Chain A
Amino acid sequence: DADVTQTPRNRITKTGKRIMLECSQTKGHDRMYWYRQDPGLGLQLIYYSFDVKDINKGEISDGYSVSRQAQAKFSLSLESAIPNQTALYFCATSDSNGRDAFFGQGTRLTVV
C-alpha cells in the first residue's frame, strides 16, 4: 500500500460544482501539503498544515479550502470549480524536520 494515498486519481467535473480531493497517509507525519502542477510551472503550494490545528495558505490558495480532519487526513476542496483549476494535484507529507517530502500519486482534475 502507498504511504500517501490520494482519491480520486482522476476526476472530470463541471464549472460551478463543488469537489473534494482527499489525502491520507500512513507515515505518521505531522506535516501535510497540497500542491498544484501546471505544465511549465513546477509545483505550486496551495495550502499546508503542520498539525491538526494548524492551517496555512500557500502561494495560490484563492478558490481552494482545506480541512485537516486528523493527523493522517488532509482534504482539499474547490467550492465552485472553474476551468483554470484544471491541473494535476499532489498531496505530500513530511516529518517534523521538514527536510524531505513524500508524495501521493496525484489527482488529475479536469473542469469543463
Chain B
Amino acid sequence: EDKVVQSPLSLVVHEGDTVTLNCSYEVTNFRSLLWYKQEKKAPTFLFMLTSSGIEKKSGRLSSILDKKELFSILNITATQTGDSAIYLCALSGAGGTSYGKLTFGQGTILTVHP
C-alpha cells in the first residue's frame, strides 16, 4: 500500500510568519504529487508536482518535490488569517490498479492568529 505522511499534524502561527509543511511518502512509482487546501468543505487544488527540484509558485505559496529523498514541502510566506485551513498532500498512483488513484496524507491543520 502506498503511504503518505504529513508533518506537523497541526501548526499555530501568527500573521506574517513563514511556515513549511512537509509531505513524505513511501511509493516507488507515482505520476504526480498534489497539494490541496481545505477550508470549510471540499479540498481545492494548489499545486501538482511531477519533476524533482522544480519549484512551483503561486503568490505567497510555493512547493517543491524531492524524488531522491521522497518528500515534498509546501511553503507559505507572510501568512494571513485566510491561510488557516487543512493542507492535504496526495500521490497519484502510476502502476497497475494504482494508476491515477489518489492516496492522501492525514493533513496539516494550520491556524494563523492575527
Contact with A along B84-114 (1 / 0, CB 8 A): 0000101011000101111111110000000
Q: What is the bound-complex CA distance between A85 and B93, given in angstroms?
A: 26
Q: Which residue, of A48, A100, A104, has the highest number of chain B Cβ atoms within 10 A?
A: A100
Q: What is the bound-complex CA distance between A45 and B105, given in angstroms?
A: 11
Q: Who on chain A is nearest to B6 by CB? A: A42
Q: Who on chain A is nearest to B94 by CB? A: A98
Residues of A within 8 A of B93 (CB): 98
A56 contacts the other chain (CB 8 A): yes
B42 touches A56 (CB 8 A): no
B99 touches A41 (CB 8 A): no
Q: What is the bound-complex CA distance between A87 and B50, given in angstroms?
A: 32
Contact with B along A90-102 (1 / 0, CB 8 A): 1010101111111
B7 to chain A, nearest CB (A): 12
Q: What is the bound-complex CA distance between A103 and B102, given in angstroms?
A: 12
Asked, given contacts A98-B92, A100-B34, whether A90 binds B42 with beta carbons under 8 Å apart, the answer is: yes
Asked, given contacts A40-B106, A41-B106, A42-B107, whether A105 binds B101 with beta carbons under 8 Å apart, the answer is: no
Q: What is the bound-complex CA distance between A104 and B44, given in angstroms?
A: 10
A31 contacts the other chain (CB 8 A): yes
Asked, given contacts A100-B45, A103-B43, whether A56 binds B104 with beta carbons under 8 Å apart, the answer is: no
Q: What is the bound-complex CA distance between A11 and B88, given in angstroms?
A: 25
B1 contacts the other chain (CB 8 A): yes
B1 to chain A, nearest CB (A): 7
**Which A residues fall within an 8 A CB radius of B?**
31, 33, 35, 40-45, 48, 50, 56, 58-59, 90, 92, 94, 96-106
Q: List 6 A-B contacts (CB under 8 A).
A: A40-B9, A50-B100, A56-B97, A94-B100, A101-B90, A106-B41
